[in-house]
Amino acid sequence: MECAVDIRCDAYLSKAYIPAAPQRMEMYRKIARITEYEDYEDILDELCDRFGEPPSASVNLCKIAHLRALGASAGMKKIEERDGILRLVPETIHPNALSALAAAFPAAQIRMALGGESAVVCRFKKGTRVVDFATDLLTKYIQFR
């Protein structure tokens, strides 16, 4: 299953960082194949080794690829951010995992939003690194399922 991720942040490989288009495309393909945390670490290591310390937009791109893979393994169809709210749209709802998640992240005010598309809805504070927050949530969610 695929998981779509729509989180607002700069996430790309710039021409200034990787000047040659074929190398940039090669790295985009490798980043798209991230399926677990070790892949994420390996790609960051490769970026550092080949092109120097990656800019934040390149790190964000890798984090989002990892989040997409994590979301798929958690059974999420979609992860999206809008106006201080993170929405996780699961294929199947696991009420016990949701309750445990709400207890683990009390400040996030986690709840189910039912309707046309049922979703797990979480609040986050201004200044939160949403990709990291979503990664933490999904990692716990997988443990609780």
Same domain for 60 and 91, yes or no, is: no
Same domain for 46 and 102, yes or no, is: no
Where in the sequence is the domain holding 60, given as residue range(s)?
A: 7-72
Q: Quote the pLDDT of residue 83.
A: 87
Same domain for 114 and 63, yes or no, is: no
Count the neighbouring beta carbons within 10 Å of the beta carbon of residue 106: 8
Q: Quote the pLDDT of residue 116.
A: 80
Q: Quote the pLDDT of residue 33.
A: 97
The verdict on residue 98 lying in a domain is yes
User: CATH number for the domain including 30?
Assistant: 3.90.1150.50
Same domain for 103 and 62, yes or no, is: no
User: CATH number for the domain including 87?
Assistant: 3.30.1360
Q: Quote the pLDDT of residue 113.
A: 87
Closest CA to 9 of 61, 47, 62, 50: 61
Residue 96: its H or E element = helix 95-104
- Work out the burial of residue 96: count CB atoms within 10 Å of its CB; fewer than 13 is exposed, 13-18 middle, 19 or more buried: exposed
Q: Quote the pLDDT of residue 46.
A: 98
Same domain for 89 and 137, yes or no, is: yes
Q: Quote the pLDDT of residue 142.
A: 92
The verdict on residue 123 lying in a domain is yes
Same domain for 87 and 138, yes or no, is: yes
* Positions of the chain with pLDDT lower than 50, given as ranges: none
Beta bridge partners of 78: 4, 89
Q: Quote the pLDDT of residue 130.
A: 95
Instruction: Domain count for the chain, please give it.
Output: 2
The verdict on residue 1 lying in a domain is no
Same domain for 62 and 107, yes or no, is: no
Any idea how long the chain is? 145
∠69-85-31 over CA atoms, to 5°?
25
Choosing from 49, 72, 95, the residue where a domain stops is 72
Q: Quote the pLDDT of residue 125.
A: 86
Entry pTM: 0.93
Q: Quote the pLDDT of residue 115.
A: 79
Count the neighbouring beta carbons within 10 Å of the beta carbon of residue 15: 10
Same domain for 80 and 139, yes or no, is: yes
Q: Where are the beta strands (DSSP E) in the chain?
A: 4-6, 76-82, 85-90, 111-113, 119-123
Q: Quote the pLDDT of residue 24.
A: 98
